[in-house]
């Protein structure tokens, strides 16, 4: 590979790095014309790169929230998913300033002081170029099959009024509405409550913001809301059960729906959370586990108690690249301590290895900057999933390979979860010559992989192989790459 080619590749990735630090601060998003991606109001592609901070409004003081938001902006996140009426008894347990959301648990009587705190965090996010994926309420405040702290306070009438209140209040703020809150829609009554809340949001904000829905594990919002005219993009929760989770199967299902709508994995496996944690936790016990499992700060000290192990940065990367290369409009990262904003010695939702502040810089969170860097080094909104680009057997296990090509044939991206050799059908992209590049998703660095004729198929072998040696293969039409 000549020096000019190496320079071209370096410039492409440098441009992506600059984009990370210059986040577009438009407050409104829209769906792309082809229904596959999200865009800023000015038409610039928007990569949904979320972080689940469900208890953000409920648990943190303003200075702490600013610290967290600044960390996420620096790492290249674009969306923070947070809940106004939080999961952990968010109606009755006050926020960090002693305020509850409603007077007398009545959704028609919002507590102004509580919402001033929410306002402050939303404004800070906007200053940093972040959007708030705002859940009006966790799903346990609506009739549901998985009862928790609750209490259930919503019906069709007050849900519409509450939605209108939020819509008006955040009409001109950087917000994405996310209904649901870890609950499914099990009957018409529940459907109508969420629909009424959405209609209230639309009435209040004049249609300024997108609407999605966060369902329970291993479900997609498309099951209930895909054909609703007010519903903009789907969200599924692939869940916390397995390593090498087949997240691409959720994506493949939603990609085939008509009309086409964007989708994201709104809750994949969280970094540092135990696999199938629910099998080990006693929900009637405030500690969730025997006291001997925890230290004096209520952090996990006996890691072997959760004998299936924990999800790591490796899982985070696999699920991120498998999702996006399967057609997702982005990806949501999560961390077990971050979502619940666990503080040492504090209340436990699910036992943690670290507290929220330590967890901000865990490896998986840092790897998200590389996800953004890669996909913004090319025009990611051109991507079309194409598994036929992979030649030969491609089992759905730890060695599964996902691939996508640009709709103009200018590039191809493939993710290799264990650094396995891959045979690529070369004429999937345009041009007579193809430039190959390795991208290291653990470090965000590139390595030239040669120049090849664009005929037949070619076998590419990553620099390293084995577990935790994932690689991304980039193939570019040499002529089009020269014009980037």
Can you give the pLDDT at residue 150? 86
Q: What angle do CA 257, 263, 267 make, to 5 degrees?
A: 130
330: which residues sit within 8 A by CB, 6+ positions away? 38, 47, 48, 49, 50, 78, 79, 264, 324
**Same domain, yes or no, for 348 and 429?**
no
Peptide linkage before 151 cis (omega within 30 of 0):
yes
- Same domain assignment for residues 322 and 391: no
Q: What tokens were used for 439?
A: 């991208």
Q: What is the C-alpha separation between 70 and 129, in angstroms, rounded? A: 10
Strands 48-52 and 79-83, sheet pairing:
parallel
pLDDT on residue 20: 40
Shared domain check, 271 and 366 = yes
242 inside domain: yes
Q: Based on the fold, state whether residues 340 and 421 are members of the same structural domain.
A: no
Note whether residue 1 is domain-resident. Answer: no
> Residue 11 — pLDDT band, cuts 50, 70, 90?
very low
**341, 59 contact by CB (below 8 A):** yes
For the cut 80, the answer to whether the pLDDT of residue 380 exceeds it is yes
pLDDT in tens, 104-127: 999 999 999 999 999 999 999 999
Is the distance from CB of 31 to CB of 232 less than 8 angstroms? yes
Cβ atoms of 81 and 131 within 8 Å: the answer is no
Q: What is the pLDDT of residue 148?
A: 85
The Cα angle at residue 156 between residues 150 and 161, in degrees rounded to 5 = 90
Res 17: pLDDT: 46
| Tokens matching residue 91 | 């109606």
**HSE of 381, CA atoms in CB hemisphere, 13 A:** 17
> pLDDT tens for residues 175-202?
999 999 999 999 999 999 999 999 999 9
Do residues 364 and 332 touch, judged by C-beta distance below 8 A?
A: no
- Please state, in angstroms and rounded to a whole number, the distance separating the CA atoms of residues 99 and 103: 10
Examine the fold and report which residue of 318, 346, 376 is the final residue of a domain before the chain moves on: 376
Residue 4 confidence (pLDDT) above 70: no
> 48 is written with which tokens?
């949904």
Q: How many CB atoms lie within 10 A of CB 296?
A: 8
Answer whether 463's CB lies under 8 Å from 422's CB: no
- Could you give the CA distance from residue 413 to residue 432 in angstroms, rounded to a whole number? 18
How far is Cα 321 from Cα 328, in angstroms, rounded to an integer? 10
Q: Identify the burial level of 112 via C-beta atoms within 10 angstroms of its C-beta, where 0-12 means exposed, 13-18 middle and 19 or more buried.
A: exposed
Are 267 and 293 contained in the same domain? Answer: yes
Query: What is the average pLDDT across 128-153?
Result: 94
- Of 26, 27, 7, 4, nearest to 15 (Cα)? 7
Q: Is residue 227 part of a domain?
A: yes
Residue 294 CA to residue 342 CA, distance in Å, equals: 14
CATH number at residue 41: 3.20.20.80
8 Å CB contact between 250 and 238:
yes
Percent of the chain with pLDDT over 70: 94
328 and 407 in a single domain? The answer is: no
Q: How far is CA 407 from CA 377, 391, 424, 428, 478, in A?
A: 16, 20, 17, 10, 16
Residues 225 and 319 grouped into a single domain: yes
Please give the Cα distance from 349 to 285 (Å, whole number): 10
Beta-carbon neighbour count of residue 77 at 10 Å? 28
User: What is the rounded distance in angstroms from the CA atom of residue 193 to the CA atom of residue 216?
Assistant: 17
Per the prediction, the chain carries an average pLDDT of 94
- Give domain status of residue 159, yes or no: yes
Check the CA dihedral 181-185-187-189 and report its sign.
positive
> What's the whole-number mean pLDDT along residues 263-289?
97
14 falls within a domain: no
**How confident is the model over 215-254, as pLDDT tens digits?**
999 999 999 999 999 999 999 999 999 999 999 999 999 9
Asked whether the predicted pLDDT for residue 61 surpasses 60, the reply is yes
- Above pLDDT 90, what percent of the chain? 92
Structural domain including 439 reads 386-482
Among 304, 307, 276, 305, which Cα is nearest to 290's? 305
Average pLDDT over residues 346-362: 98
The CA-atom distances, in angstroms, between 33 and each of 45, 57, 231, 261 are 11, 34, 15, 10
One domain for residues 239 and 309: yes
Do 100 and 221 share a structural domain? yes
Distances from the Cα of 385 to the Cαs of 45, 129, 298, 475, in angstroms?
Answer: 17, 29, 44, 15
CB 237 within 8 A of CB 181: no
Q: What is the pLDDT of residues 297-329, one digit of tens each?
A: 999 999 999 999 999 999 999 999 999 999 999
pLDDT for the residue 21: 41
Rounded Cα distance between 210 and 257, Å, is 19
- The radius of gyration computed from the CA coordinates of the chain, to the nearest angstrom, equals 22
Asked if 373 contacts 15 with a C-beta cutoff of 8 angstroms, the reply is no
Same domain, 399 and 322: no
- Gap between the Cα atoms of 253 and 251, Å rounded: 5
3 has pLDDT over 50: no
pLDDT band at 57 (very low <50, low <70, confident <90, very high): very high
- Give me the mean pLDDT over the 360-377 stretch: 98
Tokens of 217: 């594990």
Omega of the bond prior to 392 within 30 degrees of 0, cis? Answer: no
Among candidate residues 328, 356, 376, the one where a domain is terminated: 376
Question: How many helical (H) and strand (E) elements, i.e. helices and strands, does the chain have?
Answer: 13, 20
Q: Domain of 403: which CATH number?
A: 2.60.40
Residue 255: inside a domain: yes
Structural domain tally of the chain?
Answer: 2
Q: Are residues 364 and 407 in the same domain?
A: no
Residue 252 lies in a domain: yes
pLDDT at 149: 87
Taking Cα atoms as reference points, which of 233, 258, 236 lies closest to residue 131? Answer: 233
The answer on 395 and 372 residing in a single domain is: no
- Look up tokens 């438009």; give the residue: 26
Q: Over the stretch 386-444, which tens digit does the pLDDT of each residue have?
A: 999 999 999 999 999 999 999 999 999 999 999 999 999 999 999 999 999 999 999 99
**In the predicted model, is pLDDT for residue 13 greater than 80?**
no
The three-class DSSP label of residue 277 is helix
Query: Which residues lie closer than 8 Å to 425 by C-beta, 6 or more apart?
Result: 388, 389, 390, 391, 457
Of 347, 376, 405, the last residue of a domain is: 376
| Per-residue model confidence (pLDDT) at position 146 | 85
15 found inside a domain:
no
Beta bridge partners of residue 265, listed in sequence order? 236
């Amino acid at each position: 590979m000549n020096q000019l080619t190496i320079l071209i590749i370096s410039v492409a990735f440098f441009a992506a790095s600059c984009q990370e630090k210059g986040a577009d601060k438009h407050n409104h998003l829209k769906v792309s014309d082809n229904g596959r991606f999200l865009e800023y109001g000015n038409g610039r592609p928007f990569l949904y790169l979320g972080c689940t901070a469900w208890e953000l409004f409920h648990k943190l003081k303003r200075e702490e929230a600013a610290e967290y938001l600044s960390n996420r902006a620096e790492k290249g996140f674009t969306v923070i998913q947070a809940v106004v009426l939080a999961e952990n008894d968010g109606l009755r347990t006050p926020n960090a300033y002693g305020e509850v959301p409603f007077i007398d648990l009545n959704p028609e009587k919002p507590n102004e002081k509580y919402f001033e705190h929410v306002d402050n965090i939303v404004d800070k996010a906007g200053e940093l170029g972040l959007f708030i994926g705002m859940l009006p309420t966790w799903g346990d405040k609506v009739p549901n099959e998985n009862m928790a702290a609750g209490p259930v306070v919503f019906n069709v009438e007050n849900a519409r009024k509450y939605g209108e209140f939020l819509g008006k209040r955040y009409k001109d703020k950087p917000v994405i509405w996310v209904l649901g809150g870890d609950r499914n829609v099990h009957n018409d009554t529940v459907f109508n409550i969420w629909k009424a809340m959405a209609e209230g949001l639309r009435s209040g904000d004049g249609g300024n913001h997108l609407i999605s829905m966060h369902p329970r594990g291993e479900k997609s919002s498309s099951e209930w809301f895909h054909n609703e005219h007010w519903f903009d993009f789907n969200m599924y929760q692939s869940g916390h059960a397995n390593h090498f989770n087949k997240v691409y199967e959720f994506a493949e299902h939603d990609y085939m729906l008509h009309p086409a709508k964007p989708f994201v994995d709104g809750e994949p496996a969280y970094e540092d959370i135990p696999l199938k944690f629910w099998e080990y936790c006693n929900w009637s016990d405030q500690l969730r586990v025997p006291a001997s499992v925890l230290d004096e700060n209520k952090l996990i000290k006996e890691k072997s108690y959760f004998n299936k192990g924990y999800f790591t940065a490796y899982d985070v990367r696999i699920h991120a690249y498998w999702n996006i290369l399967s057609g997702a409009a982005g990806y949501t990262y999560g961390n077990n301590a971050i979502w619940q904003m666990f503080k040492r010695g504090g209340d436990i939702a699910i036992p943690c290895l670290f507290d929220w502040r330590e967890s901000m810089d865990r490896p998986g969170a840092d790897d998200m900057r590389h996800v953004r860097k890669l996909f913004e080094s090319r025009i990611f909104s051109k991507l079309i999933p194409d598994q036929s680009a992979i030649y030969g057997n491609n089992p759905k296990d730890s060695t599964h390979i996902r691939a996508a090509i640009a709709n103009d044939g200018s590039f191809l991206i493939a993710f290799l979860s264990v650094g396995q050799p891959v045979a690529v059908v070369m004429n999937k992209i345009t041009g007579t010559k193809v430039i190959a590049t390795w991208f290291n998703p653990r470090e965000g660095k590139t390595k030239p992989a040669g120049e090849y004729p664009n005929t037949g198929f070619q076998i590419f072998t990553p620099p390293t192989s084995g577990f935790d040696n994932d690689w991304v293969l980039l193939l570019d039409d040499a002529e089009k790459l020269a014009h980037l």
